[in-house]
Amino acid sequence: MSDTMSGSKLRGTGRSGALALLVFTLTLALSAAACAATPWVGGEWGVSLDGTKFGSDWEWDPSSELLLKSSLMGETYRLFSEVSGRFAQHGDDWDTSTAVERLYLRMFFSDFDLTVGKQQINWGTGRAWSPSDLFNPPVALDPDRRRNGVNAVLVTIPHGPLAYTSLIAAENELSDSASLGMRYHGYTSGTDWSVLYVSRDEKPVLGGDIATDLMGLGIHSEMTWEPDYTRDQERLLWLVGADYSWRDGKVVWMGEYLYDSTAASSKTEYPKVFWSPDAHLAKHSLFNQVTLAYDEFNTASLHLLSNLVDGSQAVTLGHSAMLDTQWRWDVQGTYFTGARDTEYGGHADILFGTTLSYLF
């Protein structure tokens, strides 16, 4: 997914490397104007301990990660890079790896912005799932997990302060052909809305999303339709979500329901092997999240991810504490319920993770 180095060897070059080279070349071309640019370097260093419990056995994996970000912002461009270096123990082995998470050049023209390089294309309004997020989809088990960037060329054309069109050509790691797409984002009477068309694997994907307020509730919804999903099957993905808060926003609830027309309606229909990374096991899934900010520095959260077909669940309890301006401590534990032949019952019994981070 990302350009990864293990030791001193670079893996995953090819088109990614060519794009990186292009970005650097363009950067050099812009260096003459760099004197007027605003630079910054920052990032995050974290030390983590992750635990996995199978039956009565715990396996512990310590790790440390440095995430380095830099930006050079000029009048007419922005160069941004985000690189991670990780040192981790897996069983008895220690492993080092580095990855280019994002590396792009964004150029500002009078009528459009052009972004070239590895970037996050974050479409849609969903949190646990996002059917129209065709390039950097979230992971329902951990919606806050850092998403992989995608090598792409993106053109953003504004049509007033709240409307714009995005045109994209992005690398598709599962196929030799690039994904091509366009999305129009508009705003009407308090509602953000978008429509999109993407050609992925040379097959069309049509979709859209909205985000609005309805009788005090925040409402969001997304839908994609793939008429040629497989040779004999179309696919409809539909997500609807709502959110509400109490006690002046200190307690926030958010729920999402996902329907996948191609997924199984009973666990006997589950496929043996996933053939697509964005495939879902169950036709009906539910995500609920409650967060409690009990003071300015501490937030507790509960995520409940439910497979409505086989009844299995993943229950995640988390706590995040800002210790001061630059130190943050996170702890998270996930408990899986259900039989071994269910979606979440097939996982480890418990996942645990804690990270102490220094932000700079």
Partner 1 sequence: MKRLLVVLTAALVLLAGLPALAAELTGAEIMEKVDDNAYFSTSHMRATMTIRSRNREMVKEMEAWGDAESKAGLMTFHNPGDRGTKYLKLGDELWMFFPNADDLVKISGHMLRQGMMGSDFSYSDAIESEKMTELYDFTVVGKEKLDGRTAYVIEANALPGTEVSYAKRKSWIDTERFVALKEELYAASGKLMKVMTTKKIQEIDGRYIATEVVMEDQLKRNSSTTLTITELTVGVDIPAGLLSLRSLMR
What residues make contact with partner 1 under the rule CB under 8 A? Answer: 40, 42, 69, 71, 78, 106, 108, 113, 119-122, 125, 136, 146-147, 156, 158, 160-164, 185, 190, 192, 211, 213, 216-218, 243-245, 247-250, 252, 293, 295-297, 322-326, 328, 359-360
CB of 89 to partner 1, least distance (A): 26
Q: Judge whether 166 and 182 are in contact, CB under 8 Å.
A: yes
Other C-beta atoms within 10 Å of 95: how many?
Answer: 13
CB of 231 to partner 1, least distance (A): 35
CB nearer to partner 1: pick between 232 and 248: 248
CB of 82 to partner 1, least distance (A): 9
Q: Could you tell me which residues come within 8 angstroms of residue 49 by beta carbon, excluding any fewer than 6 positions away?
A: 60, 61, 62, 63, 353, 354
CB of 274 to partner 1, least distance (A): 24
What distances in angstroms separate CA 292 from CA 13, 107, 316, one per listed residue?
A: 44, 40, 14
CB nearer to partner 1: pick between 154 and 264: 154
Closest to 303 measured CA to CA, from 248, 344, 270: 344
* Dihedral pair phi/psi, residue 304, rounded to 5°: -130, 110
CB nearer to partner 1: pick between 144 and 201: 144
CB nearer to partner 1: pick between 102 and 280: 102
Question: What CA–CA distance (Å, rounded) separates 120 from 130?
Answer: 14
CB of 358 to partner 1, least distance (A): 9
CB nearer to partner 1: pick between 45 and 270: 45
CB of 220 to partner 1, least distance (A): 9
Q: Could you tell me which residues come within 8 angstroms of residue 198 by beta carbon, excluding any fewer than 6 positions away?
A: 134, 179, 180, 181, 182, 204, 205, 207
CB nearer to partner 1: pick between 73 and 348: 73
CB of 350 to partner 1, least distance (A): 27
Look up tokens 């129009």; give the residue. 184
Q: Judge whether 234 and 228 are in contact, CB under 8 Å.
A: yes
CB nearer to partner 1: pick between 130 and 312: 130
CB of 359 to partner 1, least distance (A): 4
Q: Residue 232 corresponds to which tokens in the numbers above? A: 């004999």
Q: Residue 179 corresponds to which tokens in the numbers above? A: 């994904």
Helix (H) or strand (E) holding 16: helix 15-30
Question: What CA–CA distance (Å, rounded) separates 261 from 283?
Answer: 6
CB nearer to partner 1: pick between 51 and 255: 255
